Amino acid sequence: MSRIQTVFQHLKADSRKALIPFITAGFPAPEMTLPLMRALVDGGADIIELGVPFSDPMADGPTIQRASETALAQGMSLRKVLDIVRSFRSENTDTPVVLMGYANPIEAMGVDTFAAAAQAAGVDGVLVVDYPPEECVNFARAAKAADLDPIFLLAPTSTEQRFTDVAAVGSGYIYYVSLKGVTGSAKIDIDEVARRIPRIREAVGMPVGVGFGIRDAQSAQRVGAVADAVVIGSRIIEEIELSPRGEEAARVAAFMREIRAALDAIPKTGVNS
């Protein structure tokens, strides 16, 4: 069983929801990423999504784009992201790490080379934003051969057919994009999310995480009441941006604890995951 599946199994046994924070590797500086990952774990992260910076992040909003530009300007690269994961894995063997990014850096390295290197570094899953199921037959094969879970997105606009397509190639969990837009957008329609999640979970047969637009304990709690996992990204990047230099890890851990507490306060009755 993969590390990701193990995490979801334990959470289910405890009737708890997964908290999945996202940070951009190399932001605000390459040497800050490992301490920030530790802070995320201290603050209650169940899985860490680590963003691989790309020069043209089309699906991201201004916050994550800025973070990517800062990271790239300091020489961050896919290889260096894998080095960071290797360091993290040497001290933490439990918390799954999912790389989230765009296809081109992976294709530049070579899909098979990447999959092997990611497995060796201790990566557990990979979410490639611009690889929809129909364009990633080779990639999904390479990922699975290297015991990496290929994670896919679903959106409010996705049809039943898309649920099936994604379930056929994906594993680990499904990332439901809770609104039409880019990362960090303000509006989230939680009633709409609540209507969609049960059917999606049934169709894909995997845990469903919800992200894009979750900004505080309250929205996290409301989403957590219907989903299996809550993903928070842009809001954490903003926390890092606002933090005085040197205090980033402490502030991120404090923010995470608020969210964790809100998720753990969700009543355990009537939860069907």
Partner 1 sequence: MQMADTPYQFPDPSGHFGPYGGVFVAETLMPALTELREAYAACQADAAFVAEFEHELKHYVGRPSPIYHARRWSTLLGGAQIYLKREDLNHTGAHKINNCIGQAMVARRMGKPRVIAETGAGQHGVATATVAARYGMECVVYMGAEDVKRQAANVYRMKLLGATVVPVESGSRTLKDALNEAMRDWVTNVADTFYIIGTVAGPHPYPMMVRDFQTVIGKECLVQMPEMAGRQPDYVLACVGGGSNAMGIFHPYIGMPGVKLVGVEAAGEGLETGRHSASLTAGRAGVLHGNRTYLLQDEDGQIIETHSISAGLDYPGVGPEHAWLKDTALADYVGITDAEALQAFHDLCRLEGIIPALESAHALAYAAKLAPTLPADKILLVNLSGRGDKDMHTVAERSGLQF
Q: Does 93 bind partner 1 (CB under 8 A)?
A: no
Q: How far is the CB of 156 from partner 1 (least distance, A)?
A: 8
Determine the 3-state secondary structure of 17 from DSSP: coil
Residue span binding partner 1 (CB under 8 A) among the ranges 40-48, 118-126, 151-159, 224-232? 151-159
Q: What does each C-alpha distance from 215 to 86, 126, 169, 201 come to in angstroms?
A: 30, 24, 30, 23
Which of residues 106 and 225 has its CB atom nearest to partner 1 in the complex?
A: 106
- Contact with partner 1 (CB under 8 A) among 5, 87, 185, 273: 185
Going by their DSSP bridges, the two strands 125-128 and 18-24 should be labelled as unpaired
Tally of CB atoms within 10 A around 67? 27
5, 12, 83, 109: which one contacts partner 1 (CB under 8 A)?
A: 109
Query: What is the DSSP-derived secondary structure letter of residue 245?
Result: T
* Binding piece for partner 1, criterion CB under 8 A, among 8-16, 26-34, 103-111, 197-205: 103-111
Least distance (Å) between residue 63 CB and partner 1: 11
Per the CB < 8 A criterion, the answer to whether 53 and 71 are in contact is yes
Q: Which C-beta is closer to partner 1: that of 105 or that of 122?
A: 105
Helix/strand/coil (H, E, C) string of 196-225?
A: HHHHHHHHHCCCEEEECCCCCHHHHHHHHC
Q: Least distance to partner 1 from the beta carbon of 70, Å?
A: 12
Total number of residues shown for the chain? 273
Q: Residues 103, 116, 194, 254: which binds partner 1 (CB under 8 A)?
A: 103
Helix segments in 2-136, DSSP class H? 3-13, 33-42, 62-73, 78-91, 103-109, 111-121
Minimum distance, C-beta of residue 169 to partner 1, in the bound complex (Å): 12
Residues 53-82 binding partner 1 (CB under 8 A) are: 54-59, 61-62, 65-66, 69, 72, 77-79
What sign results for the dihedral spanned by CA atoms 163, 204, 18, 141?
A: negative
Residue from 46, 60, 228, 248 carrying the catalytic annotation: 60
- Quick check: 64 and 181 in contact, CB under 8 A? no
Measured from the CB of residue 123, what is the shortest distance to partner 1 in angstroms?
Answer: 17
273 binds partner 1 (CB under 8 A): no
Q: What are the structure tokens assigned to 44, written together?
A: 């209650």
Least distance in angstroms from the C-beta of 109 to partner 1 = 7
The DSSP secondary-structure symbol of 110 reads -
Query: Does the N-terminal peptide bond of residue 28 adopt cis geometry, omega within 30 degrees of 0?
Result: yes
241 is catalytic: no
Choosing from 13, 90, 93, 159, the residue that interacts with partner 1 (CB under 8 A) is 159
> Is 239 marked active-site?
no
Taking the least distance from each CB to partner 1, the nearer of 95 and 234 is 234
List contacts with partner 1 (CB under 8 A).
54-59, 61-62, 65-66, 69, 72, 77-79, 102-109, 129-132, 134-135, 152-155, 157-159, 162, 166, 177, 180-182, 185
**Residues catalogued as catalytic:** 49, 60
